[in-house]
Structure 1
Amino acid sequence: MTRFEFKPNKKKSGRNQYVGSWEESACKEIDLPFTKESMVTVLTWAIEEGSPYTHQEIAHWCDRFHLSCEEHDNDIAPAIIDVAADVDAQWDMYLSNTYNLEQLQSLKYSEIRLPVEWFKEWLSDVNT
């Protein structure tokens, strides 16, 4: 995934100036069906120490889950789809709010961990 960073343009009020981009390192894909049960499994992995998957891989799976639900008719509860979308959005926001552009261009994304409390809350939302 490529992200772009902008800053206010001092010469032209109301316009942003492009200052650079970053691309996440490749990660393996989680091969699970897009179901509530899989969502519970993935969120549980994010909480556990020694998880078989990184938070990056989990966020990307949630993104694919969310997009799949948007593209196809399914019987997934909207609250679960919202959790999947939120995991992906929070991953992106965490990166851009925690690291500067230079750091983002050289990070090992597989080592980044979101706060575990977030996953516990999402798991609670899925289970209600």
Structure 2
Amino acid sequence: MDWNWNETRIKLPYTSENFRTLLDTICRGENEFSQYDFAIWCDNLTMAFDDDEGEELNEYDSLVNGIARDIECQWDLYLINTYTLKELQTLDLSQVSLPQEWLLKWLKELNSL
């Protein structure tokens, strides 16, 4: 899968393995990409899973899809609940980070299988 609906600086194929690697990298603080790029990548991953019509997701891919969807939704909610409209209009999204405990929770959930 190498679709690119929304542009992101992360140029990895949309796979569950790459999702795990990216999330783990962020949790360790070793990411060279922004969490904004990761949120976009997560959104693209969920669209890639949705685009695979007729293919039943296995248990792991289904879990990855759910976590990726939660990340991209929580990103939007975090922005809306943290910043004013005026701030959002000029905010450099590449400088925004989700709370670390959220990321660690998602990684723990991912590792539960």
Question: Per the shorter chain, which TM-score range?
Answer: 0.7 to 0.9
**Structure 1: where are the runs of 5+ without partners?**
1-26
Q: Is the CA contact (8 Å cut-off) linking 2:9 and 2:33 kept in structure 1?
A: no
After TM superposition, the structure 1 = structure 2 runs for residues 1-128 of structure 1, keeping only pairs within 5 Å, are: 28-72=8-52, 73=55, 75-76=57-58, 77-128=61-112
Write out the 4+ residue segments of structure 1 that deviate beyond 6 Å after TM superposition: none
Q: Per-residue CA shift, 1:7-28, capped at 9, x if unaligned? A: xxxxxxxxxxxxxxxxxxxx74
If each structure's helix is expressed as a fraction of its own residues, which one has the higher value?
Answer: 2
- TM-score of the two chains, using structure 1 as the length reference: 0.73
If each structure's strand is expressed as a fraction of its own residues, which one has the higher value?
Answer: 1
RMSD: 1.8
Quick check: which has more Rg, 1 or 2?
A: 1
For 2:101 and 2:49, locate their aligned partners in 1 and report how far apart those are by CA, in whole Å: 25
Pairs aligned (count): 103
- TM-score of the two chains, using structure 2 as the length reference: 0.82
| Greater RCO (CA < 8 Å, at least 6 residues apart) | 2
What is the percentage of aligned positions where both structures have the same residue? 32
Q: Is the CA contact (8 Å cut-off) linking 2:39 and 2:71 kept in structure 1?
A: yes
In structure 2, relative to structure 1, the CA distance for the partners of 1:79 and 1:53 (3 Å cut) is same
